[in-house]
């Protein structure tokens, strides 16, 4: 019985490490978006960053954006990190397209309407919102 105690204690000492390894968190950011005047020209949102230092990697990201008018035909919206982008379908949803990107990395929405010529009226992005879930 006494010889088994070290094994039990080492198991108890490792348990918090396993819990910490499985831990994660979330951060959110929001801002107004860009205006789109012309088809075929990409417009970036302001940077969306965590409000505090974050360690770990992104798992899922919830998003929502609001436009000043119905989405025009050919609107493409991407959520981008420094290294890659995820195409977003619809004005709200969830993506795993940036899985394993560092959780503290700044993200941007990129908006573009396919084609060429002026957009009338100008399309304004009233708001961009993200909720980044991450694991450590």
Q: What is the pLDDT of residues 78-95, one digit of tens each?
A: 999 999 999 999 999 999
Q: What is the pLDDT of residues 27-42, one digit of tens each?
A: 999 999 999 999 999 9
What average pLDDT score do residues 6-22 get?
40
pLDDT surpassing 70 at residue 99: yes
pLDDT surpassing 60 at residue 121: yes
* Contacts with 35 (C-beta within 8 Å, 6 or more apart), sequence order: 43, 122, 123, 124, 125
| Predicted local distance difference test score (pLDDT) of residue 41 | 97
Q: What is the pLDDT of residues 15-30, one digit of tens each?
A: 343 333 458 899 999 9
Taking alpha carbons only, the member of 88, 111, 112, 90 closest to residue 39 is: 112
| Fold exhibited by the domain 24-135 | Jelly Rolls (2.60.120)
Domain boundaries, the chain: 24-135
Q: What is the pLDDT of residues 44-70, one digit of tens each?
A: 999 999 999 999 999 999 999 999 999
């Amino acid at each position: 019985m006494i010889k088994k105690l070290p094994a039990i204690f080492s198991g108890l000492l490792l348990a918090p490490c396993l819990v910490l390894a499985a831990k994660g968190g979330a951060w959110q950011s929001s801002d107004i978006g860009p205006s789109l005047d012309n088809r075929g020209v990409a417009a970036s949102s302001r940077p969306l960053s965590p409000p505090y230092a974050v360690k770990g990697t992104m798992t899922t990201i919830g998003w929502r954006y609001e436009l000043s008018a119905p989405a025009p035909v050919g609107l493409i919206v991407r959520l981008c990190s420094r290294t890659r982008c995820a195409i977003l379908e619809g004005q709200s949803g969830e993506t795993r397209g940036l899985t394993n990107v560092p959780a503290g990395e700044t993200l941007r929405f990129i908006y573009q309407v396919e084609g060429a010529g002026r957009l009338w009226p100008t399309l304004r992005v009233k708001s961009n919102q993200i909720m980044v879930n991450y694991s450590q």
